[in-house]
Amino acid sequence: MKKSICLYFQVHQPTRLRLYRFFDIGKDSHYYDDFTDRTILHRIADKCYLPMNQLLLDLIKQYGKDFKVTFSITGSALEQFDRYEPEVVRSFKELADTGQVEFLAETYYHSLASLANEGEFKHQVEKHVKAIEDHFGVTPKAFRNTELIYSDNIGKQVYGLGFKTMLTEGARHILGWKSPDYVYSNPIQSGLKLLLRNYQLSDDIAFRFSDKGWKDWPLTADKFLTWLKSAEGDVVNLFMDYETFGEHQKEASGIFDFMRALPGVVLADGSLEFTTPTLATRKHKSVGEIEVPDPISWADEERDVTAWLGNELQQDAFNKLYEQSEKLALLNNAVLWEDFGHLQESDHLYYMSTKFFSDGEVHSYFNPYNTPYEAFINYMNALSDFIIRIDDAVATFGR
């Protein structure tokens, strides 16, 4: 039986907050920096989404059913595509129409709802499934949570939503001596099959590709093939941000040339095949259960949720936001619900991280704020205005 290679790309663009001052509270309820969103999206569409989608489409035309890839695209990203770069949606639709691309379900707003509110989590997953159906004409069958966050209990919820395949991180502290290159199952719901990211090989592309100080630089398709072949197990899961191509790893690094060459090298070898998550869990049997009592993710060295909830600032913002759920449930106010969704985007909490050591550089790369405290103050100002609007709506409810 051939070893499977599962290529999965995350596509997300946050809804960034504008500079929202204390004196704006109660006076101006538009929280978002539309200019920055539009500017960044135009840049990344030109550097990554459009050229990379065309490259993948060319590869599918060249190799047919032998080449497959997988995407998850957040609802927040889809909204920005629709608003600022509709050509990106058309290019993803072209990929969908080939039948060789799987689209995953996830939280619509790239949120931490799975850690906070089961009802809101379900709502966002269902909203996201509908968005994927509306945009691409396909119904997601497999699931990836925000930032690959997973635990036994979250897996149980996901299975209850009708998914039988879920992606997460091959974290060392939960695997121990086991390999990430097999299919595993949830210990509570054995019907939920798990695919674990091979973080070593994934990060060789996503983070180390252009590092001239890396002992294995430059990375070629032939060299990477030898690593894929030496990986033990049934399926090697290469999961990464789509912006790896052209944004994080610049075109001049050769990242597009590497990706253009990889399928041909892999397929010519004859011992490997490309697959998608749903096909992988149909083909390969689970080798056993993997227990994950506490949430894991693909972020930072710890592979847990401390990137978003590791300090008091983050926890205060998180708790204050989700405390509004009960009051919102009383209201049929589409504008408030939409703001609630965008304020849940995990990026806002990520910007408040106080990690300064091994992962500090990664956090600073994605952070528009000078300090975590600045990110916290800006967010809490916007959240304070949002809470006032909810309380006013509740006070007039039923009158």
What value does the CA radius of gyration of the chain take, rounded to a whole number of Å?
A: 21
> Beta strand pairing status for 183-185 and 193-197?
antiparallel
Task: Name, in order, each residue with C-beta under 8 angstroms of 185's C-beta and a sequence gap of 6 or more.
Answer: 191, 192, 193, 194, 286, 288, 289, 290
Quote the distance between the C-alpha of residue 291 and its chain's center. 22
312 is catalytic: no
- DSSP conformational letter for 284: S
Q: How many helices (H) and strands (E) does the chain have?
A: 18, 10
Structure tokens, 272: 């490997």
Q: What secondary structure does DSSP assign to 76-114, as a single string?
A: HHHHHHHHH-HHHHHHHHHHHHTT-EEE-B--TT-B-GG
- Cα(44)–Cα(159) distance, rounded to whole angstroms? 34
**Of residues 120, 147, 247, 345, which has the active-site annotation?**
147
Structure tokens, 293: 């009592």
- Cα(163)–Cα(318) distance, rounded to whole angstroms? 27
Structure tokens, 244: 């790896």
Enumerate the β-bridge partners of residue 8: 70, 239
Q: What positions carry a catalytic annotation?
A: 147
